[in-house]
Amino acid sequence: MDIRPRESSTPRVPDSFDAQLLQALEIDGRAPFSRIAAVLGVSDQTVARRYRKLVSEGGLRVVAVRDHERLGQEQWMLRLRCAPDGAEAIAAALARRPDTSWIGLTSGGTEVVCCTRPRSRSDQDELLLGKLPRTPHIVDIRAQQMLHRFFGGPNGWLIKHGPLSEEQAAALRPAGPGTDRAEEPLHIDPEDEPLVAALERDGRATYPELQQATGRSESAVKRRLAALLASGALYIDIEYDSALVGFHVGSMLWITAAPWALDTVGKTLATHAEIAHASAVAGASNIMATAVARDIPSLYRYLSGRLGHLDGVQHVETAPFIRRVKQLTYRPFPR
């Protein structure tokens, strides 16, 4: 799950139906509007209309995401300290790369935070050892390898806030893959790339559209997509403006936990309602997390309360987001 805290200074009043629809899409981003409508007790037209409004006004996008952890591919979190007049241009340039996500400006706009997922070792070396060190206005580079995900990825964040009942969520949840996984893919084959690319552009693309994009029969597309999703190599995710559900403040947390407490702290963070993502990382700090709060006082209460009193936590560095540049996709939006 990826969210974008709103940059406007005027708070938006959250809409309970919007929150329900967003959680429904978190559970199954490809669910037909008719099924969502039946669960929410409204008409198909109501769901379609509100969906279109969320897309046009709330920045909603439904897209396929490769699960790099399940695929065994490396991921790095970069912290680039920049001269004040260079941070935005550097963030925008990184956002246009296909191997980046989660790009934001923090530390008063002088630091760019970026998750990079190189497709190959040469791509990784080209970025980390080639382009970035030679980029003007970058003062310092910190690269931390992501080791283990505690929360995030295919796990939807809105379930922690419960706009849907357990019964509604269960009715929307796709059927499990079953116990026989022998023929399911553990990787994405080269011939799957056109299918995955189409879904990365639009996770709700219809089967006829996917058939046209891949040149495969509709039945073959259905089978292959079902296998990719069942294996966990691919999942459907959503991005949206978190102000839609009443959360206006986002912050990166760089946490240092005692080595003996690393796993326990990470698993505990995964249960906290404020945490949208948490991973173990290699570097000066050993946990990287994203916290989302309704307002600044709420963030303070979390930092000084549950997080601050968590056994094993030795140090926390907080870097509030000044502006989000990219999440799952890159679409420049007005400030």
Interatomic CA distance for residues 153 and 83, integer angstroms: 32
pLDDT of 5 reads: 52
Task: Provide the pLDDT confidence category of residue 42 given band limits of 50, 70 and 90.
Answer: very high
pLDDT of 180 reads: 44
The partner residues of 292 in beta bridges, in order of sequence, read 250
pLDDT of 185 reads: 47
Q: Are 7 and 335 in contact (CB under 8 A)?
A: yes
Average pLDDT over residues 246-259: 94
Going through 70-137 in order, the beta strands assigned E by DSSP cover 76-82, 100-106, 111-116
What number of other Cβ atoms are within 10 A of residue 195's Cβ? Answer: 25
Ordered by start, the domain boundaries in the chain are 2-63+155-242, 76-152+248-326
Element (H, E) at 146: strand 138-151
pLDDT for 177 beyond 90: no
158: nearest Cα among 172, 175, 148: 172
pLDDT of 31 reads: 96
pLDDT for 118 beyond 60: yes
- The CA distances from residue 304 to 2, 173, 295, 298, in Å, are 25, 36, 15, 10
Q: Which one-letter amino acid corresponds to residue 195?
A: L
Average pLDDT over residues 142-150: 93
Interatomic CA distance for residues 74 and 117, integer angstroms: 6
pLDDT for 92 beyond 50: yes
Taking only the tens place, the pLDDT of each residue in 70-90 is 888 889 999 999 987 888 888
CB burial string 78-107: b at 16+ within 10 A, e below = bbbebeeebbbebbeebbebebbbbbbbbb
pLDDT of 48 reads: 96
pLDDT of 171 reads: 93
pLDDT of 298 reads: 96
pLDDT for 221 beyond 60: yes
pLDDT of 132 reads: 76
Average pLDDT over residues 324-334: 68
Q: Of all residues in the chain, what percent carry a pLDDT higher than 90?
A: 58
- 68 φ/ψ sector (left φ>0, alpha ψ -120 to 50, else beta): alpha
Least confident of 2-6, 103-107, 251-255: 2-6
What is the separation of C-alpha 277 from the centre of its chain, rounded to a whole number of angstroms?
Answer: 8
Sign for the CA dihedral angle at 142, 83, 90, 237 comes to positive
Taking only the tens place, the pLDDT of each residue in 209-218 is 999 999 999 9
Average pLDDT over residues 291-296: 94
Task: Provide the pLDDT confidence category of residue 123 given band limits of 50, 70 and 90.
Answer: low
pLDDT for 149 beyond 90: yes
pLDDT of 129 reads: 55
What is the separation of C-alpha 163 from the centre of its chain, rounded to a whole number of angstroms?
Answer: 19
Per-residue tokens: 241: 């403006």
pLDDT of 183 reads: 46
Task: Provide the pLDDT confidence category of residue 125 given band limits of 50, 70 and 90.
Answer: low
pLDDT of 13 reads: 47
- 178 φ/ψ sector (left φ>0, alpha ψ -120 to 50, else beta): left
Task: Provide the pLDDT confidence category of residue 195 given band limits of 50, 70 and 90.
Answer: very high
Q: Does 2.60.40.1260 match the CATH number of domain 76-152+248-326?
A: no
